Amino acid sequence: MLPWAIHMDQKWNGGTNNGISRLASCANTYATQNFQPVWYQGPPITNGLEATNLAMDQFTQLIRDNGFRLASPAKIDYQIPSPVTSSTIRGETSFSQTRVPLSFVINPTQLDRIDISPITLSGSMFHAWLHRSGFQDPKTTSYFISEAPMCVMRGYQAKVSAASDASFYQFFD
Ligand SMILES: [Zn+2]
Averaged confidence pLDDT in the chain: 95
Task: Count CA within 13 A, CB hemisphere, residue 53.
Answer: 15
CA of 114 to the centre of ligand 1 (A): 23
CA of 128 to the centre of ligand 1 (A): 7
Range of the domain at 154: 2-169
> What is the rounded CA–CA span in Å between residue 99 and residue 94?
10
Q: pLDDT band for position 144 (50/70/90)?
A: very high
Q: Are strands 104-106 and 76-78 parallel, antiparallel or unpaired?
A: parallel
CA of 88 to the centre of ligand 1 (A): 11
CA of 13 to the centre of ligand 1 (A): 31
CA of 18 to the centre of ligand 1 (A): 30
CA of 116 to the centre of ligand 1 (A): 18
CA of 48 to the centre of ligand 1 (A): 17
Among 111, 103, 121, 166, CA closest to 139: 166
CA of 42 to the centre of ligand 1 (A): 23
> What is the rounded CA–CA span in Å between residue 166 and residue 140?
8
Tell me the whole-structure pTM to 2 decimals. Answer: 0.95
CA of 133 to the centre of ligand 1 (A): 12
> What is the rounded CA–CA span in Å between residue 40 and residue 54?
10
CA of 8 to the centre of ligand 1 (A): 24
- Edge to edge, the sheet with strand 89-90 lists 76-78, 104-106, 89-90
User: 35 Cβ partners below 8 Å, 6+ apart?
Assistant: 45, 46, 47, 48, 50, 51, 144
> What is the rounded CA–CA span in Å between residue 134 and residue 129?
9
- Please tell me the total count of domains within the chain: 1
pLDDT at residue 1 is higher than 90: no
User: How much is the average pLDDT of 22-38?
Assistant: 98
Reported as a single tens digit per residue, the pLDDT across 59-91 is 999 999 999 999 999 999 999 999 999 999 999
> What is the rounded CA–CA span in Å between residue 36 and residue 30?
15
